[in-house]
Amino acid sequence: MEVGQTALQMAPDFYFLGDTNPLPDHSKSANPEDEVFIIFFIFKLKTEFRSQLLNQFEDHITHTRKEEKGNILFDLYTVDDQDDTLAVYEHWRKESDVWDIHFHQPYAEKTGKLMEEAVIGDLKQYMNFVTEI
């Protein structure tokens, strides 16, 4: 909190998150050689797509966790009292695991097409990458 008073340009947003299916799974961990690429994706959606997105992400996350060796963590959360907002939190062993492999999987492409319809505005505006902790 002390550092935030001088380091932040504006007050941070706070979200109270709710679990979705599949539940968060933090059983994997990074290896010492991993570069670890972290994404926060908190986005606004047209509420008529909420149920469809939650169902698609359930399939998407299940496949990602099971089939993609570069994935360490992939969780989806609802935001309390905001039916128009979802939050994705991901950890990858390296950045190329996302851009070169993950986004080319059939389930990720299907989710991407749905999100193009469902998300309010440009998807890229909601992506946040952790580069320092």
Helix or strand or coil: residue 29?
coil
Q: Does the domain made of 33-130 have the CATH classification 3.30.70.100?
A: yes
* Domain ranges across the chain: 33-130
Handedness of CA 20, 98, 13, 49 (dihedral sign): negative
pLDDT of residue 132: 56
Picking from 79, 99, 80, the residue whose alpha carbon sits closest to that of residue 89 is: 79
Listed as ranges, residues in the chain with pLDDT below 50 are: 133
Percent of residues, the chain, with pLDDT higher than 90: 81
pLDDT of residue 112: 96
pLDDT of residue 3: 74
Q: What is the largest CA-CA distance in the chain?
A: 45
H or E element at residue 5: helix 2-7
